[in-house]
Structure 1
Amino acid sequence: MTNSISFNTEKINKYIVRWLLDYATNAKMNGFVVGISGGIDSALTSTLCAQTGLPTLCVEMPIHQAESHVSRANEHIKQLKARFSNVSSERADLTPVFETFKNQVSTIENEAALHLSLANTRARLRMTTLYYFAGTQGLLVTGTGNKVEDFGVGFYTKYGDGGVDVSPIADLMKSEVRLLAAYLNVPDSILKAKPTDGLFGDDRSDEDQIGANYDELEWAMREDESGKTIADFSGREAIVFSIYKRLNQINQHKMNPIPVCTIPKEYK
């Protein structure tokens, strides 16, 4: 189960930075705001935004966050501010907000559904916070999702980390994110860390939740796009392909436009 990587880091780096700069200029916006999680996607995205020369605000938004996530986020923000004079940072501790929210809503007996709903609530509180800073400073909320997350398995929160203005790395596979992040000198602690969404307040990884790692999911996405079916595989490949197909199917509601009930003209 291998992926063939042909990737011109220098050209892709310049292309994304130019795309960001052109978009912000045409939209008459001042710059970008990025939520910093301590993960590789947000580290890469904020570095790309910083390269535009426009104001780039990095926001850390802990909610009962694992200390390892916090330390990596702070390390990245410190490094980025040292490298780029246009980078600034804010810290918004959303733990009290989250706890207040929990105290104001009723609980349910289905514990799994409750934990998932609260995990998504964390992401939506962060989205609201980013749009607050964006609105007060004329910034674009910049998405950090990669291709296999956003268009493969839908591993993000609808109207949470999926609620953004621009998505500069959404056409990059996770392996390509790693290559570009290494090229741009993202801290080693982030490059080596296991991917995690950080929504449960512990160190569970994305692989723990999904049942497959990103290299496997990239493989499955490419095989699916080439027209392969589950009948073409056995063993671990069949398991991974099945995981990919199931998540891709159930998360189409995130990837497709919101359904609109179009009223027949003769009724209006």
Structure 2
Amino acid sequence: MTKKNTTEVAKVNNHIVNWLKNYATTAKVNGFVIGISGGVDSALTSTLCAQTGLQVVCVEMPIHQHKDHVSRGREHIEQLKSRFPNVSNIETDLTPIFETFKSQVPADFEESKLQLTLANTRARLRMTTLYYHAGVHGLLVAGTGNKVEDFGVGFYTKYGDGGVDISPIADLMKSEVFALATYLKVPESILKAQPSDGLFGDEKTDEQQLGASYDELEWAMLVLEHNKSIENFTEREKEVFEIYQRLNRANQHKMNPIPVCKINKI
């Protein structure tokens, strides 16, 4: 990373931290609560929140969680607590709740649809848990979605990890997330790990689910934003561009406001 790039990253860091602090102060809340997954987005978000000096509660919410996700998340939390005295943590094991939920709903459906629905259920249980901790401590739920996920391909669960009060990194591309996380010394184990939403209890990566890497999706997002010609695309570029457009169209219901049926006054 060049000196110029380091300076730019530092400015972005300071801008987000000041924005977080000002927002929390105006809202008259004590700080932030963040779900820690063992991934770079939640690690970065919690580090940004910690720099405000306000109360930060990091919450682990395992549901049959893969051991690597758990170990990375705990490594990050311990590092963060050693650096910032305003950071605390709590674990809320949601596995028993998830299993109870599964026992109370029908399960005789197509396997792929069932697994995806249950994955989204995990995210929604976690959202409910975060808002519990936010409520009792007087905190805001800080979202961990980046720009490609939130506004490009809609790779998040509606009313799950998409259910937040504020989104401090939602205007950062994934490459910018990694640059800022590197600058802030997020643990190397997290920086090197393949991004994964951890909603299936295994190491299934985001790239395996999406069909393209974040670098590729970021490229497609910029192509569309700048109305670049696709005539000279390679076959892989065409494939990625089609993946991006398909996901973007399919997930508009997440990105747009809830439709409201307007009644004309007579």
Structure 2-normalised TM-score? 0.96
- Following superposition, the deviation at residue 48 of structure 1 comes to 0.2
Match of 1:126 in 2: 126
Q: Does 1:148 align with 2:148?
A: yes
- Following superposition, the deviation at residue 226 of structure 1 comes to 1.4
After superposing the two structures, state which structure 1 stretch, 219-228 or 54-63, moved more.
219-228
Match of 1:35 in 2: 35
What letter is aligned with 1:123? A
- Following superposition, the deviation at residue 233 of structure 1 comes to 2.4
Q: How do residues 29-68 of structure 1 correspond to structure 2 at under 5 angstroms?
A: 29-68=29-68
What letter is aligned with 1:173? M
* Percent identity over paired residues: 70
Q: How do residues 1-268 of structure 1 correspond to structure 2 at under 5 angstroms?
A: 8-228=8-228, 231=231, 233-266=233-266
Q: Runs of 5+ in structure 2 lacking a partner? A: none
- Taking the aligned partners of 1:232 and 1:143, their CA distance within structure 2 comes to 38
- Following superposition, the deviation at residue 227 of structure 1 comes to 1.6
What letter is aligned with 1:105? V
* Offset from partner CA, 1:109-154 (integer Å, 9 cap, x none): 2111100000000000000000000000000000000000000000
SS at match of 1:265: coil
- Taking the aligned partners of 1:46 and 1:168, their CA distance within structure 2 comes to 10
CA-atom RMSD, angstroms? 1.2
Asked if structure 2 preserves the Cα contact closer than 8 Å seen for 1:58 and 1:88, the reply is: yes
Asked if structure 2 preserves the Cα contact closer than 8 Å seen for 1:123 and 1:199, the reply is: yes
What letter is aligned with 1:92? T
- Taking the aligned partners of 2:257 and 2:229, their CA distance within structure 1 comes to 26
What letter is aligned with 2:133? F
- Taking the aligned partners of 1:175 and 1:259, their CA distance within structure 2 comes to 33
* Offset from partner CA, 1:154-177 (integer Å, 9 cap, x none): 000000000000000000000000
- Following superposition, the deviation at residue 6 of structure 1 comes to 6.3
- Following superposition, the deviation at residue 230 of structure 1 comes to 5.3
Q: Which runs of 4+ in 1 moved over 6 A?
A: none
- Taking the aligned partners of 1:210 and 1:85, their CA distance within structure 2 comes to 38
Asked if structure 2 preserves the Cα contact closer than 8 Å seen for 1:230 and 1:242, the reply is: no
- Following superposition, the deviation at residue 107 of structure 1 comes to 1.2
- Taking the aligned partners of 1:144 and 1:55, their CA distance within structure 2 comes to 17
What letter is aligned with 2:179? L
Structure 1-normalised TM-score? 0.96
* Offset from partner CA, 1:61-92 (integer Å, 9 cap, x none): 00000000000000000000000000000000
SS at match of 2:38: coil
- Following superposition, the deviation at residue 231 of structure 1 comes to 4.9
What letter is aligned with 2:163? G
- Taking the aligned partners of 2:212 and 2:227, their CA distance within structure 1 comes to 21
- Taking the aligned partners of 2:156 and 2:228, their CA distance within structure 1 comes to 25
- Following superposition, the deviation at residue 234 of structure 1 comes to 3.3
- Following superposition, the deviation at residue 232 of structure 1 comes to 5.0
- Taking the aligned partners of 1:180 and 1:42, their CA distance within structure 2 comes to 12
- Following superposition, the deviation at residue 24 of structure 1 comes to 0.2
What letter is aligned with 1:88? S
What letter is aligned with 2:222? R
Aligned residues: 262
- Taking the aligned partners of 1:67 and 1:177, their CA distance within structure 2 comes to 24
